[in-house]
């Protein structure tokens, strides 16, 4: 039986606080000015406190028991479902799952349908009794857990990053002094055999000249040379001039040379040469690039562009563009033919990690991906 208690109150006309109706003086403002009886009745009907409900000890026990039973029932349902799921996924991958189980698992995990499709494809590739015996203990759950690593790009990227850092420490650092020695040596050699640091020669367009012909006069492009001895050491040279159009495509028909220093000096601005063409737009369409083959210095030293060909191709490629490919070529050619690239090193580190996670699942997945040309299980890493 519920017992309800109502406490009659009234509002103080001075400070507006609610106080028991039995009090004649407001304890808040000590005032005696109250609302009139009609106002008090309205206020009392509106501002009555909520009724206080009291439960007996027995009722409290019953309510508590009901809550415990509800929680227990929910736990039993969840546990039962977990056991059923565990039993289904603990089966060997050679035991097909029912459509109902696949549908239920897919509701919980949207990727399960694709996973099961891959399992069916794997199952079709394992045909011999020996292979089935080898992989018979691989369960759905086991394979699914392995693939969370195998197909996880974030996980594999971290493995690759760590492996590349180890490669720098283990493989590059010990041979870095040798790399520097080789590159410094050939950089110095190239600088010493650079023919362009001794001479600066150009073809300068000089408009068009009318040339007297056998039958009639022709207008041809005219040009002259400018030449600078950059170090004051030049005695002679051998230079060709290659012709290119606006798109930098070679127009070898108009190439000429090689010519020596005497010819260059003879044909300066006062004594131009002409090109054998009547194209009056020639200088709008073409330009020349000098190719210095060699220079002879006043002390008799001959420096040839051919000397640069003595620079190993691997070194030349590395100095031209420093990247993993050129570094690998340099190291294998000059230092260690068995050098392993950072990419290969990281790839092998990822495979080793996955093998250690689950050797049997790794072998099974790797075998499937290697044999199937139309379907493969996604990898979180790239194959070099």
What percent of the chain lies above the pLDDT cut of 90? 70
Give the DSSP letter of residue 280.
Answer: T
Of 250, 272, 300, the one marking the end of a domain is: 300
pLDDT score of 38: 46
pLDDT score of 86: 54
Give the DSSP H/E element, type plus range, for residue 186: helix 176-192
Peptide bond preceding 372 in cis form (omega within 30 of 0):
no
Burial level of 10, CB count in 10 A (0-12/13-18/19+)?
Answer: buried
Confidence of residue 19 (pLDDT cuts 50, 70, 90): confident
Average pLDDT over the chain reads 86
* Residue 256 within any structural domain of the chain: yes
Task: Indicate whether 179 pLDDT > 50.
Answer: yes
Six token digits for residue 247: 């798109």
Task: Indicate whether 73 pLDDT > 70.
Answer: no
Confidence of residue 77 (pLDDT cuts 50, 70, 90): very low
* Residue 277 within any structural domain of the chain: yes
* Residue 16 within any structural domain of the chain: yes
* Residue 260 within any structural domain of the chain: yes
Mean pLDDT of 133-162: 96
* Residue 261 within any structural domain of the chain: yes
pLDDT score of 194: 94
Lowest-confidence pick of 26-40, 217-231, 304-318: 26-40
Report the SS3 class of residue 321.
Answer: coil
pTM greater than 0.85 (yes/no) = no
Of 242, 265, 300, the one marking the end of a domain is: 300
CA dihedral defined by 333, 338, 340, 341, rounded to 10 degrees?
20
* Residue 20 within any structural domain of the chain: yes
Could you list the residue range(s) of the whole structural domain that residue 28 is in? 9-47
Give the DSSP H/E element, type plus range, for residue 330: helix 324-334
pLDDT score of 66: 64
Lowest-confidence pick of 83-97, 284-298, 305-319: 83-97
Mean pLDDT of 347-375: 93
> Domains in the chain: how many in total?
2
Task: Indicate whether 75 pLDDT > 50.
Answer: no
- Packing angle, helices 140-150 and 57-89, rounded to 10: 80
DSSP-assigned states of every residue in 85-107? HHHHHTSBTTSPPPHHHHHHHHH
What are the pLDDT digits (tens) for 29-70?
A: 765 544 444 454 444 444 444 455 666 777 667 767 666 665
Cα-Cα-Cα-Cα dihedral sign, residues 117, 118, 121, 126: negative
pLDDT score of 303: 96
What percent of the chain lies above the pLDDT cut of 70? 83
pLDDT score of 27: 73
pLDDT score of 70: 56
Of 270, 285, 300, the one marking the end of a domain is: 300
Strand positions, DSSP E, the chain = 9-11, 18-20, 199-211, 218-229, 234-245, 256-260, 273-274, 286-297, 302-304
* Residue 267 within any structural domain of the chain: yes
What are the pLDDT digits (tens) for 234-281?
A: 999 999 999 999 899 998 899 999 999 999 999 999 999 999 998 999
Contact 90/138 with Cβ under 8 angstroms?
A: no
* Residue 14 within any structural domain of the chain: yes
Mean pLDDT of 138-166: 97
Mean pLDDT of 174-196: 96
pLDDT score of 48: 45
């Amino acid at each position: 039986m519920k017992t309800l208690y109502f406490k009659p109150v009234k509002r103080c006309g001075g400070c507006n606080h609610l106080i028991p109706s039995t009090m004649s003086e407001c304890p808040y403002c000590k005032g005696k000015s109250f609302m009139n009886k009609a106002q008090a009745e309205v206020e009392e009907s509106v501002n009555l406190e909520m009724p206080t409900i009291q439960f007996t000890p027995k009722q409290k026990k019953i309510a508590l028991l009901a809550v415990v039973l509800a929680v227990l029932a929910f736990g039993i349902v969840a546990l039962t479902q977990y056991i059923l799921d565990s039993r289904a996924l603990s089966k060997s991958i050679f035991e097909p799952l029912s459509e109902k189980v696949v549908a239920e698992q897919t509701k919980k995990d949207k990727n399960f349908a694709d996973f099961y499709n891959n399992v069916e494809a794997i199952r079709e590739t394992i045909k011999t009794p020996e292979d089935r015996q080898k992989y018979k203990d691989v369960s759905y759950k086991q394979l699914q857990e392995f693939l969370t690593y195998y197909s996880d790009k974030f996980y594999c990227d971290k493995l690759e990053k760590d492996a590349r850092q180890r490669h720098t420490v283990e493989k590059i650092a010990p041979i870095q002094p040798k790399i520097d020695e080789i590159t410094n040596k050939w950089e110095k050699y190239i600088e010493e055999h650079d023919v362009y640091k001794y001479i600066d020669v150009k073809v300068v367009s000089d408009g068009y000249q009318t040339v007297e012909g056998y039958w009639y006069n022709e207008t041809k492009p005219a040009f002259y040379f400018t030449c600078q001895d950059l170090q004051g050491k030049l005695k002679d040279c051998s230079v060709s001039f290659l012709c290119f159009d606006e798109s930098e495509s070679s127009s070898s028909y108009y190439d000429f040379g090689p010519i020596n220093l005497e010819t260059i000096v003879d044909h300066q601005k006062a004594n131009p040469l002409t090109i054998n063409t009547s194209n009056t737009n020639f200088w709008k369409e073409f330009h020349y690039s000098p190719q210095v083959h060699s220079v002879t210095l006043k002390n008799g030293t001959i420096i040839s562009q051919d000397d640069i060909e003595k620079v190993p191709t691997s070194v030349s490629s590395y100095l031209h563009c420093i990247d993993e490919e050129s570094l690998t070529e340099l190291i294998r050619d000059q230092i260690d033919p068995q050098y392993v690239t950072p990419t290969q090193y990281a790839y092998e580190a990822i495979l080793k990690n996955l093998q250690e996670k689950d050797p049997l699942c790794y072998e099974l997945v790797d075998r499937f991906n290697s044999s199937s040309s139309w379907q493969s299980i996604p990898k979180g890493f790239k194959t070099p």
